[in-house]
């Protein structure tokens, strides 16, 4: 009989009975504290048998497909290795953009960011970055991380540029992912909806 193991890429958030897989960004949250997988996680059990939940295999199969469960850890090693190889090829581009440089609306005593800095990215920077992206001929994967400072201080630039990038990616069959590091002060309902509708933050090739 086949034995299974927990992927070593899991983080268990006990407060919410949530398991996050940092390999692929998937997570699962359990309402039923008696769920067999939750018991496996809590007790860090490896070499376990295939289980059923409420007499069906659906949960197990989903966990297996999304690499929460593996037959052997080599599966995870191979995925990570392939990602490293891809990330060092001309098929993959990851950009970290600072639309306000180091400016921030907070003044935390422990932080190096600059509350007084007024520079902002605009049309000139957008044109330069976009032309750079266009010049990569074999691009298949594009990731943009909005960073700072507090990037939401220039949210209009982010919305406009994200729309341009999304349209370009869709037209050229490019997998595009956007992400942001923010203190969330300006992430109100209106801005959240605009970001979500404008970018969708993650598209897969159809």
pLDDT of residue 204: 36
Instruction: Compute the Cα dihedral for 197, 203, 205, 206 and give only its sign.
Output: negative
Tally of CB atoms within 10 A around 98: 17
User: Residue 123 above 70 pLDDT?
Assistant: yes
pLDDT of residue 200: 52
In CATH, the architecture of 89-203 is Alpha-Beta Barrel (3.20)
**Domain residue spans in the chain?**
5-76, 89-203
The model's pLDDT over 167-190, given as tens digits with 9 standing for 90+, comes to 999 999 999 988 899 999 999 999
Q: Would you give the distance in Å from CA 102 to the centre of its chain?
A: 22
Q: pTM of the predicted model, to two decimals?
A: 0.58
Contact 93/136 with Cβ under 8 angstroms?
yes
DSSP summary character for residue 69: E
pLDDT of residue 52: 93
What does the pLDDT average to over 42-64?
93
The model's pLDDT over 138-153, given as tens digits with 9 standing for 90+, comes to 899 999 999 988 999 9
pLDDT of residue 90: 80
For 110-152, the three-class secondary structure string (H helix, E strand, C coil) is: CCCCECCCCCCCCHHHHHHHHHHHHCCCCCCEEEEEECCCCHH
């Amino acid at each position: 009989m086949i034995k299974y193991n927990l992927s070593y890429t899991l983080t268990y958030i006990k407060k919410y009975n949530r398991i996050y897989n940092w390999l692929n960004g998937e997570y699962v949250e359990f309402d039923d504290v008696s769920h067999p997988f939750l018991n496996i996680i809590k007790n860090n059990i490896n070499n376990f048998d295939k289980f059923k939940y409420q007499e069906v295999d659906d949960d197990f199969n989903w966990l297996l497909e999304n690499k929460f469960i593996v037959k052997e850890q080599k599966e995870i090693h191979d995925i990570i290795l392939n990602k490293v190889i891809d990330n060092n090829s001309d098929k993959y581009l990851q950009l970290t953009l600072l639309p306000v440089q180091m400016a921030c609306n907070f003044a935390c005593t422990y932080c190096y960011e600059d509350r007084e800095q007024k520079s902002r990215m605009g049309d000139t920077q957008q044109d330069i970055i976009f032309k750079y992206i266009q010049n990569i001929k074999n691009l298949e994967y594009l990731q943009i991380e909005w960073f700072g400072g507090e990037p939401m201080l220039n949210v209009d630039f982010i919305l406009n540029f994200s729309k341009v990038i999304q349209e370009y990616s869709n037209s050229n069959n490019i997998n595009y992912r956007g992400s942001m590091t923010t203190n969330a002060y300006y992430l109100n309902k209106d801005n959240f909806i605009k970001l979500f509708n404008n970018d969708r933050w993650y598209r897969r090739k159809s």
